[in-house]
Amino acid sequence: MDISGKCKLLKIYLSEDSKYKGHNLYHALVLKLKEYGIAGVTVVRGIEGYGQEKRLHTARVMDLSLSLPIIVEVVDTAERIEKVLPIVKEMVNEGLMMITDVEVIKYGKA
């Protein structure tokens, strides 16, 4: 699939220890979005951050946290993002989700 031009970026902020049906939520999201043919998904592990509860999560050795911040970035056309959004909302029971407009300049092999 080749996408370019105006697209949407769905960003999902969660905790590393968030679960979905006994599995890591971020991994379950990647598998589900792949199943639906979404153009691209990347999972990024944060080294430090906090959320709504203001509890600090960090990767510093002296304060090693077992629940580091995770960001799942999902990029595709607006139509495809809107199609999977209800599924993602059902899977993510806590965290932050946002959608923004993006311009895809290049997608695919060099």
Would you list the domain boundaries of the chain? 5-104
Residue 47 is predicted with a pLDDT of 77
Residue 32 is predicted with a pLDDT of 98
Q: Which helix (H) or strand (E) holds 90?
A: helix 78-91
Is the pLDDT score of 99 beyond 90?
Answer: yes
The distance in angstroms from the start CA to the end CA of the chain is: 15
- 58-89 pLDDT, tens digit each: 655 545 556 788 999 999 999 999 999 999 99
Q: Domain 5-104 falls in which CATH fold?
A: Alpha-Beta Plaits (3.30.70)
Could you give phi then psi for residue 30, rounded to 5 degrees? Answer: -60, -45
Is the pLDDT score of 4 beyond 70?
Answer: yes
Q: Are 72 and 79 in contact (CB under 8 A)?
A: no
- 18-32 pLDDT, tens digit each: 999 999 999 999 999
